[in-house]
Amino acid sequence: MAGYECLKTGHSSLDAVETMIRYLEESGQFNAGRGSLRQLDGIQRMDASIMEGQTLSAGAVAGLEGYLHPICAARRIMTDTDHVLIAGPHAHRLARHFGLARLIHRKNSTPLRNKPISRKAKNPKSLALYRQLGMYDTVGAVAMDRSGHLAAGASTGGVAVMLPGRIGDTPLIGAGVYADDTAGAISMTGLGESIIRTGMAKHLAILLGLSWTPVRAANHALRALISRIQGEAGCLILDRTGRLAIRHTTRWMSAGYWNGRGKPVVKNRFP
């Protein structure tokens, strides 16, 4: 796996998270980077964030158009500016300034700018099934390096049938992503509106900081999400001792992990 190979060669957890998410954005198989969904005006707008747990530094981008790797833009915002989150046209200008890779669609792929999605695409039964299957496909990663430092990140193209300008949980530190060496690293996926309303990533970090296990913290937070607001989410959690949990309320969630021993574990459903 690209992320582990990065750690194996002595790179930081932040490098590993960025490398893994770049790979997923490039693939076009997920709702991130090349494969991002279009908003209702036919334009792909992407969000991403990245955070490291040693100094709590973070960077994020929202509504980025035309660039292949929003996770790279998020990291440059973290390292090269005094800010955490930059959105819209100004994020585009920064990505251009940093010389980041443009999003060029392959032959026969969906063009970046297209006609607005037709009303026929807004079939309520299809959308209900889409939600039941958990087909959100936000990509994320968490990692711990040799020094014990943690990092987390996420990248997304949003959800099906989005109003132009809609921003979900992914670029919001404490909602979609959080990392703290004293607690753990968390990356969320799912229905962004419900994740924002419950501040899921920070909530999980607080529980980890109280010495809850990742499994206990995930089960508690996800049950609360369902009982309070009927939300839908999945999470990757890595605590400061290296314990991992992958949990979700949706029917499916494709994820994988590897600690360097045996074979990588990749499944589309976790208990």
d(CA 26, CA 18): 12
pLDDT score, position 106: 61
pLDDT score, position 130: 47
pLDDT score, position 107: 56
Give the DSSP per-residue string, the chain. -HHHHHHHTT--HHHHHHHHHHHHHHHSSSSSGGGPPB-TTSBB-EEEEEEETTT--EEEEEEE-SBS-HHHHHHHHHHHSS-SEEEHHHHHHHHHHTTPPB--PPTTSPPSB-PPPPGGG--HHHHHHHHHTTTT--EEEEEE-TT--EEEEEEE---SS--TT---STTSBTTTEEEETTTEEEEEEE-HHHHHHHTHHHHHHHHHHTT--HHHHHHHHHHHHHHHH---EEEEEEETTS-EEEEESSS---EEE--SSS--EEES---
pLDDT score, position 137: 66
Domain borders along the chain are 2-267
The alpha carbon of residue 201 and the mean position of all alpha carbons in its chain are separated, in whole angstroms, by: 11
* CATH fold of the domain at 2-267: Glutamine Phosphoribosylpyrophosphate, subunit 1, domain 1 (3.60.20)
**Taking all residues of the chain, what is their mean pLDDT, rounded to a whole number?**
88
Which of 34-38, 198-202, 244-248 is least confident?
34-38
At 149-207, the pLDDT tens digits run 999 999 999 876 778 889 999 999 999 999 999 999 999 998 899 999 999 999 999 99
Q: What is the pLDDT confidence band of residue 270, given thresholds at 50, 70 and 90?
A: confident
At 206-237, the pLDDT tens digits run 999 999 999 999 999 999 999 999 998 999 99
* Most confident stretch, 7-11, 123-127, 141-145: 141-145
d(CA 30, CA 119): 24
pLDDT score, position 253: 87
Which of 62-76, 118-132, 167-181, 190-204 is least confident?
118-132
Task: Select the more confidently predicted residue: 40 or 108.
Answer: 40
Strands 85-87 and 58-64: what pairing? parallel
The pTM of the whole model exceeds 0.75: yes
The catalytic residues are 138
Q: What is the pLDDT confidence band of residue 111, given thresholds at 50, 70 and 90?
A: very low
Please state the rounded mean pLDDT for residues 65-79.
97
Q: Which two tokens stand for residue 104?
A: 């060029």
Indicate whether 55 pLDDT > 80.
yes
pLDDT score, position 149: 98
Q: What is the pLDDT confidence band of residue 123, given thresholds at 50, 70 and 90?
A: low
